[in-house]
A and B are shown apart, each in its own frame.
Chain A
C-alpha cells in the first residue's frame, strides 16, 4: 500500500511512500514530519480536509502545506 506524499515545506517535492494498513493521517504526518506541530500545516487528502483519524487508502494523495513561511525582503 502506498500514498502520494507532497510536502510543500522547503523543497516541495512529491514522492510515493509505502504505508501499513490502518495508518491514520495523523500517524502518517508524524512519521513524515516528526516533531513538527500538525497545526502549523494545512493537510489535505485527495484535496479535501479530513479528520486526524482518517485512515489512509492505497493511492491517496496527501499534501502538507506550511501555514507559516518566512518571506524575505532586505
Chain B
C-alpha cells in the first residue's frame, strides 16, 4: 500500500471502501439533520414562550387598567417591551434554522462519487478509520512571494453532525513557514490549524451539509490559494523578519535591537538606553527614575538612605533622594533660625 504523509493511504480505494466511508458521512449528515430539527423545536419553543408571556402580560395589563394601578402597569409594559424586542430575533433564528433543514439527503452513491472526484482532483486522499478523518494534500502554496509550503486539509467526519463552522476542517502545514510574530499562524487565514473561511463560509457549510465533500475540499483549497490583505491573521508584508519580543511588531534585522539583560530582540519603539550610563536595554529592563522620570538601568538605581525609594544615581545627593534632601535642608534651615532666635 502506498504511503501518504507517513501513513497508509487509500489511493486506489475499492468501491467497497468508498461506500464504507460514504456510509459514515451519510450517518453524520442524518445526525446533523436531526440536530437541526431539534434546534428548530427549541427556537420555536422560545418564540411560543415569549408569546405566552405576552398574552399573560396583556391580561394583567387589562386588570391593572381596571383598577387604575399605573405603577404595576408601567412595570408590566417594560417587561412586555423586552419580550416584544426578543421576538423578531427568535423568529428570525427559527426561520433560518428551518431553511437549514431543507436539504435533501444525498444518496450513498452520490457521496461515493464525491470521493471518486476527490481522488481525481487531488491525486489521492487518506482515510483514517480510527480517527474517522479524510485528508488531502495541497500543492506547495506561495502567496505574494511568501512561500508557505504544502498543507494537509483534514475533514473530521465525526464533527459533521455538529456542523456549525469551519472547524470540521483542520489545515496542517506539512513544512511550516509560520509568521515571524506567531508560530501558530502558518497561513494568513489559518491559526492553530483552523481555517477562517471568510467569504467561503456559507458555500463551504452548504457543500458539507449536502454531502458535496469534494466541493468543500476544493473551496478550502481555493481559500488557501488566495490572499485577502484586508483581513488576515498577519499581513504577508510582515510575515518574515524579526518579531519584537514585547509588541510583536516585525522588523528587518537592521531595525531590531538585542537586549543584553533579558537576551531578547526588540523593535526601536520598545528599546531605549539608560540615561545615567548610556547602556542600551529594552524598555522592560529599564526602570523610570521617580525623581527625574528618565529610563535607568538597574545598576544605576540606588536606594535613598532615608526613605528607601530607588532613584537614579544622578538624582541621589549625599545618599538622599531629591525629596528627602529637600526635606532635610528645610529642617536644617528651620533649626538654624530657631538657634538664631534663641541666641538673640
Give me 14 A-to-B residue pairs in the complex whose CB atoms sit less than 8 angstroms apart, sorted by A's number: A6-B215, A8-B218, A10-B199, A10-B203, A47-B214, A65-B218, A67-B222, A68-B222, A68-B225, A70-B223, A70-B230, A71-B195, A71-B231, A73-B189
On chain B, the residues within 8 Å of A44 by CB distance are 117
Residue A9 lies at the interface, judged by CB distance under 8 Å to chain B: yes
CB <8 Å contact, A70 and B199: yes
CB <8 Å contact, B206 and A72: no
| A60–B58 CA distance with the chains assembled, in angstroms | 57
Chain A residues touching B, majority SS: loop
17 more A-B residue pairs beyond the given contacts A12-B215, A69-B199, with a C-beta to C-beta distance below 8 A = A6-B212, A11-B202, A12-B204, A14-B210, A47-B214, A67-B226, A68-B225, A69-B197, A69-B200, A70-B231, A71-B188, A71-B200, A71-B224, A72-B198, A72-B228, A73-B233, A73-B234
On chain B, the residues within 8 Å of A8 by CB distance are 203, 207, 215, 218-219
Could you list which residues of chain B lie within 8 angstroms of chain A, going by C-beta atoms? 113, 116-117, 120, 188-189, 191, 195-200, 202-207, 210, 212, 214-215, 218-219, 222-226, 228, 230-234
CB <8 Å contact, A72 and B189: yes
Find residues 33-61 in chain A having any chain B CB closer than 8 Å to their own CB.
Answer: 42, 44, 47
On chain A, the residues within 8 Å of B225 by CB distance are 67-68
| A72–B182 CA distance with the chains assembled, in angstroms | 17
On chain A, the residues within 8 Å of B233 by CB distance are 73-74
On chain B, the residues within 8 Å of A13 by CB distance are 206
On chain A, the residues within 8 Å of B230 by CB distance are 70
CB <8 Å contact, B202 and A69: no
On chain A, the residues within 8 Å of B212 by CB distance are 6
Chain B residues touching A, majority SS: helix
Give the 8 A-B residue pairs with the shortest CB-CB distance, closest first. Answer: A71-B189, A12-B203, A72-B198, A73-B233, A70-B228, A12-B206, A69-B200, A71-B223
A10, A47, A67, A69: the one within 8 Å of B113 (CB): A47
| A43–B233 CA distance with the chains assembled, in angstroms | 30
B116, B202, B224: the one within 8 Å of A10 (CB): B202
CB <8 Å contact, B116 and A47: yes
**A29 to nearest B CB, angstroms?**
16
On chain A, the residues within 8 Å of B204 by CB distance are 12
On chain A, the residues within 8 Å of B205 by CB distance are 12
Closest to B228 in A: A70
CB <8 Å contact, A11 and B226: no
Closest to B118 in A: A47
Given contacts A70-B198, A72-B196, A73-B191, contact A65 B222 (CB under 8 A): yes
On chain A, the residues within 8 Å of B215 by CB distance are 6, 8, 12, 63, 65
CB <8 Å contact, A65 and B219: yes
CB <8 Å contact, B231 and A69: no
CB <8 Å contact, B210 and A73: no
| A69–B205 CA distance with the chains assembled, in angstroms | 14
On chain A, the residues within 8 Å of B222 by CB distance are 42, 65-69
| A67–B199 CA distance with the chains assembled, in angstroms | 12
Given contacts A12-B204, A13-B206, contact A68 B226 (CB under 8 A): yes
**B19 to nearest A CB, angstroms?**
17
On chain A, the residues within 8 Å of B206 by CB distance are 11-13
Closest to B218 in A: A65
| A73–B197 CA distance with the chains assembled, in angstroms | 8
| A11–B226 CA distance with the chains assembled, in angstroms | 19
Closest to B212 in A: A6
On chain B, the residues within 8 Å of A70 by CB distance are 198-200, 223, 226, 228, 230-231
| A47–B198 CA distance with the chains assembled, in angstroms | 26
Residues 1-44 of chain A: 1 if any B CB is under 8 Å from the residue's CB, otherwise 0? 00000101111111000000000000000000000000000101
| A15–B140 CA distance with the chains assembled, in angstroms | 35
Closest to A64 in B: B215
| A68–B223 CA distance with the chains assembled, in angstroms | 7
